[in-house]
Amino acid sequence: MAAAPVRRYDPERRQRIIDAAIRVVGAKGIAGLSHRSVAAEADVPLGSTTYHFKTLDDLLVAALRQANEAYAPALALRGGEDLAGALARLLGELLDADRGRAELEYELYLAALRRPALRPVAAEWCEAVVAALSDHTDPVTARALVAVMDGISLQVLLTGTPYDEPYARDLLTRVLRPT
């Protein structure tokens, strides 16, 4: 009998490694990310991860980019609602109902602080959100909204304070009024 057929020609492998990396970061944080831990999670040999991603930064870039793509559609805005209320509601959904995902995405995003390789991707993320908001307000205000939403999320995630939707709505309303 043949030995266990070693897996060959696996075109999805690269993608599976990225998915595994995201799961690892979600479970153990970036500090727990290593070529070996992703390899185990993706069920591929060690050499495979080092082949597709020479450095961990490469892997983080791919993971952050993928997380971005999943985040932007979450900002889908309903038509009738007022903008501040809609954003406050979406923020609440992310921070209350999907805390794990919020932590994961912010951890990848914030990693750009010390990893220059991630900075362009973080900038892309920023731009994508601004673009999603540009249908509803001017570009300067859109950037401001991003800053404010980041700030609110940070306070919640870093200090453990519960998310206060009316407060967020009030703050966003203030930002939306032109000078």
Residues engaged in binding DNA (CB under 7 A): 6-11, 13-14, 33-37, 44-48, 50-52, 54-56
Residues within window 113-132 making contact with a second copy, judged by CB under 8 A = 113-114, 119, 122-123, 126
- Using CB distances below 5 to 8 A depending on partner kind, what does residue 101 bind out of a second copy, DNA, none? none
Angle, in degrees to the nearest 10, between helices 119-133 and 139-159: 120
Shortest distance, CB of residue 9 to DNA, whole angstroms? 5
d(CA 96, CA 109): 19
Q: Are 156 and 95 in contact (CB under 8 A)?
A: yes
Q: Which residue's CB is nearer to a second copy, number 41 or number 48?
A: 41
Which residues lie closer than 8 Å to 171 by C-beta, 6 or more apart? 148, 152
Amino acid code (one letter) for 88: A
For residue 138 the two structure tokens come to: 């001017």
Q: Which residue's CB is nearer to a second copy, number 6 or number 158?
A: 158
- Using CB distances below 5 to 8 A depending on partner kind, what does residue 146 bind out of a second copy, DNA, none? a second copy
- Using CB distances below 5 to 8 A depending on partner kind, what does residue 110 bind out of a second copy, DNA, none? a second copy
